């Protein structure tokens, strides 16, 4: 849909903000532009909707040079979201969101209906409709900014560091919300950030720019993490590249053992007859199959488990949905070195050792991609959201 062809931007004072940049921006996906301050991200974004005109090269929208379109038509097809939302302070929330429909000549009540519908879409309480921007938190204002950009249902959304001004917890919520929204709406989104973790979490494709507006690498995030093009990209990606890459590998292929999983009311005979598959520990569950904790087989054979004396099972991962990173995190946090897998309802589906997770990681690296055949087919971590695992992009 959007093709940037050898575009250069030279500002009147001679600053080269963007230097012969070429990018194919895929339809209905999130493409992230990331790089250090001053590397030309905003300039690139603004050239897409012609708030800034390229000095050289061209930008094609659906195969047509953007200069051949009236600038107003072009801009209406592209919602624009900026840091701090840029709301009109003297207008209520509902009227902020209704701005573009009103400009397009929609009636007042139809525009407001649309605005209220969008408030719900972006997770805003309808009770906020009559407030003014200063009466909202930063995160809420940012949601209003997104709703306003979506009001006329443009196919393209340009987002310039939209979540940079809020704290990390609110930011994570806004990121998750954007991914959920994108699942529903399937917009073509160009998203600017200087935060590589945000880029890796949100991007279907990530363009890393370096100072002087030159493209350092353009790749899906899993590829960026596994094969940075050069020392600059590697440095920009930062530490824990290997661990972070594990969030792109699903845990579905892990070999879960059910032999070491017993109910708290299991009899001694049942326990001694168990084939634990070599596991030195038994995981005790309640009658519904929810985990209670670990114990040694000998202790349990001597009598019913005392929940107070069981070893903590740490935090379980959801088998299949979560990534290998989440599974590994669970095993590392578990005092036995074994991770507990559960289903969506929290019932144990099996246990797996660090060793077995290590084998799965090596196998995943050997094939160089996720086991569902895509380079980025993964999953959300319930084990430790702070590690930046995320929802499946394959499902978007
Ligand atoms: N109107 C202008 N005139 C001259 N130089 C400009 C102008 N706007 C931007 N620049 C310069 O162009 C370069 C790229 O700016 P741009 O705003 O695109 O960077 P950025 O990657 O968005 O940075 P940041 O992360 O700080 O927002 C910078 O060196 C900037 O100083
Ligand atoms: Mg900028």
Residues that place a CB less than 5 A from ion ligand 2? 42
- What's the pTM? 0.83
Residue 46 beta carbon below 6 angstroms from any ligand 1 atom:
no
Q: Which ligand is nearest to the CA of 214?
A: 1
What is the rounded end-to-end Cα distance, in angstroms, of the chain?
A: 18
Query: Where do the structural domains in the chain lie, given as residue ranges?
Result: 2-246, 261-387
Q: Which CATH superfamily is domain 2-246 in?
A: P-loop containing nucleotide triphosphate hydrolases (3.40.50.300)
Residue bearing the CA closest to ligand 1, atom 3? 11
> Pocket of ligand 1, candidates 7, 10, 38, 52: which has the most ligand atoms within 8 Å of its Cβ, to mutate?
38
Q: What is the side-by-side order of every strand in the sheet holding 291-295?
A: 261-263, 282-285, 291-295
Residue 386's pLDDT is what?
Answer: 32
Residue 368's pLDDT is what?
Answer: 62
Same fold: 2-246 with 261-387: no
The torsion defined by the Cα of 111, 147, 75 and 1, in degrees rounded to 10, comes to -120
Any residues with CB less than 8 A from the CB of 298 and at least 6 apart, and which? Answer: none
Q: How far is the CA of 18 from the centre of ligand 1 (A)?
A: 9
Residue 51's pLDDT is what?
Answer: 94
Question: Token pair 């017993």 is at which residue?
Answer: 262
Return the closest-CA partner of residue 267 out of 307, 306, 304, 308: 304
Residue 160 beta carbon below 6 angstroms from any ligand 1 atom:
no
Dihedral (CA of 367, 370, 374, 375) sign: negative
Residue 273's pLDDT is what?
Answer: 79
The answer to whether the CB of 327 falls within 8 A of the CB of 387 is no
Closest atom of ligand 1 to 40 CA is 18
C-alpha angle with apex 208: 370 to 324, nearest 5 degrees?
20
261-387: CATH number: 3.10.580.10
Residue 372's pLDDT is what?
Answer: 39
Q: How far is the CA of 148 from the centre of ligand 1 (A)?
A: 25
Residue bearing the CA closest to ligand 1, atom 13? 17
Residue 12's pLDDT is what?
Answer: 95
Residues of the chain with pLDDT under 70: 301, 368-396
Q: What is the pLDDT of residues 172-224, one digit of tens each?
A: 998 999 999 999 999 999 999 999 999 999 999 999 999 989 999 999 999 99
Residue 280's pLDDT is what?
Answer: 85
């Amino acid at each position: 849909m959007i093709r940037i062809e050898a575009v250069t931007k030279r500002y009147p004072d001679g600053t080269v903000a963007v230097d012969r940049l070429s990018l194919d921006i895929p339809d209905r996906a999130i493409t992230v532009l990331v790089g250090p301050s001053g590397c030309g991200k905003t300039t690139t974004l603004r050239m897409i909707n012609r708030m800034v005109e390229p000095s050289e090269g061209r930008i094609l929208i659906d195969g047509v040079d953007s200069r051949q379109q009236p600038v107003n038509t072009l801009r209406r097809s592209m919602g624009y979201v900026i840091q701090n939302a840029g709301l009109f302070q003297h207008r209520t929330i509902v009227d902020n969101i209704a701005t573009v429909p009103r400009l397009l000549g929609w009636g007042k009540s139809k525009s407001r209906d649309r605005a209220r519908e969008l408030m719900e879409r972006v997770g805003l309480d309808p009770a906020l409709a009559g407030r003014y921007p200063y009466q909202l938190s930063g995160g809420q204002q940012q949601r209003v900014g997104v709703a306003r950009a979506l009001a006329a249902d443009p196919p393209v959304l340009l987002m310039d560091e939209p979540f940079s001004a809020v704290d990390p917890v609110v930011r994570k919520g806004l990121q998750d919300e954007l991914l959920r929204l994108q699942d529903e709406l399937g917009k073509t989104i160009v998203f600017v950030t200087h935060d590589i973790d945000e880029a890796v979490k949100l991007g279907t494709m990530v363009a890393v720019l370096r100072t002087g507006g030159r493209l350092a690498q353009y790749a899906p995030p899993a590829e960026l993490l596994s094969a940075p093009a050069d020392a600059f990209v590697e440095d920009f990606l930062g530490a824990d590249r290997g661990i972070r890459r594990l969030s792109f590998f699903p845990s579905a292929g892990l070999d879960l053992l059910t032999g070491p999983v017993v109910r708290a009311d299991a009899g001694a005979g049942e326990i001694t007859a168990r084939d634990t598959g070599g596991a030195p520990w038994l995981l005790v569950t309640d009658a519904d199959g929810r985990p209670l904790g670990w114990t040694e087989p000998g202790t349990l054979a001597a009598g019913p488990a005392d929940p107070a004396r069981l070893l903590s099972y740490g935090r379980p991962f959801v088998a299949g949905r979560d990534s290998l990173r989440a599974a590994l995190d669970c095993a590392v946090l578990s005092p036995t070195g074994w991770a507990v897998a559960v289903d969506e309802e929290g019932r144990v589906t099996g246990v797996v050792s660090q060793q077995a997770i290590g084998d799965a990681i090596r196998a995943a690296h050997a094939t160089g991609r996720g086991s569902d055949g895509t380079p980025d087919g993964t999953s959300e971590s319930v084990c430790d959201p702070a590690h930046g695992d995320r929802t499946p992009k394959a499902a978007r």
